[in-house]
Amino acid sequence: MRLCVINPNTSSAMTLKIGEQARRAAGPGTEILAVNPDMGPASIESHYDDAVAVLGVLDVIRRGEAQGCDGYVLACFGDPGLAAAREAARGPVIGIAEAAMHAASFVATGFSVVTTLTRTCVIAEHLAEAYGMARFCRSVRGTDIPVLDLEHDDPAAYAEILAACRRALSEDRSGAIVLGCAGMSDLALRLRTELGVPVIDGVGMAVRLVESLVALGIATSKQGDYADPIPKPYTGLTAGFARTARTA
């Protein structure tokens, strides 16, 4: 099967890292296309970035549909444009925040999200509410590490993340850690070994979940609100996003 793993920001260094981790998690026979939009913010760490990034995500989905992708992973912890992506795609689309939070709820009664800038904590809190995960989410801890500092190995960033995980485990009664940025995906194994608890990277988790759905023949429902968007004229900068009726 062919899965498209979308890094919704435009950092190609981060896309490389995400692709590596996605391939590490994927089963044999799964082809991973790791891509980022060619428009949008370099990193997503505010409501504004999140909103602007969505059109780039939808543009990638449009190309993915033309390339015969069987499913998609949205590899940004805000899951930007998730519901819209499901309307536009045939196959399953899973965001890394929803994948990681659900997985954490299978292995612990409570988890903490350790993320980047403190200002993004509320985004993760809103998602936990929206996904019905708020009763499992004991805390969302910011580290004040900018997303782009996670493009490459940074020992200081790792130490900061490790310290935040330790505080979450000792002060918030959490039994598992959810990594709150796709740029942290390469740290999961090392953190899990050091902390001795489940540390969940949403990139690998979402890849495995999409693979499972595709393998079982389960696609996105086209009944109701995830049906194809209604064709109509779009104007101005959005003109190219107007939908036409699907032919197949």
Q: Closest CB to ligand 2AL among 148 and 215?
A: 148
Residue whose CB is less far from ligand 2AL, 94 or 181: 181
* Nearer residue to ligand 2AL within complex by CB, 64 or 95: 95
Using left for φ > 0, alpha for ψ between -120 and 50, and beta otherwise, residue 224 falls in left
Q: Which is nearer to ligand 2AL, 30 or 115 (CB)?
A: 115
| Residue whose CB is less far from ligand 2AL, 71 or 95 | 95
> What is the enclosing helix (H) or strand (E) of 33?
strand 31-35
- DSSP of 99-138: HHHHHHHHH-S-EEEE-S-GGGHHHHHHHHHHTT-TTTEE
- Distance between CA 109 and CA 172 in Å, rounded? 12
- Kindly state the smallest distance separating residue 245's Cβ from ligand 2AL, in Å: 34
State in angstroms the smallest separation of the CB of 149 from ligand 2AL. Answer: 11
Q: How far is the CB of 23 from ligand 2AL (least distance, A)?
A: 18
Least Å from the CB of residue 98 to ligand 2AL: 13
Burial string for 30-53 (b: 16+ CB within 10 Å, else e) reads: bebbbbbbeebbebbbeeebbebb
Instruction: Report in angstroms how near the CB of residue 35 gets to ligand 2AL at its nearest.
Output: 14
User: Minimal distance in Å, beta carbon 201 to ligand 2AL?
Assistant: 11
- Nearer to ligand 2AL by C-beta: 117 or 219? 117
Quote the CA–CA distance of 239 and 130 in Å, as a whole number.
30
Task: Answer whether 8's CB lies under 8 Å from 34's CB.
Answer: no
Question: Tokens representing 16?
Answer: 């490389």
Q: Hey, is 61 helix, strand or coil?
A: helix
Binding site for ligand 2AL (CB under 6 A): 9, 43-45, 76-78, 115-116, 120, 147, 180-183
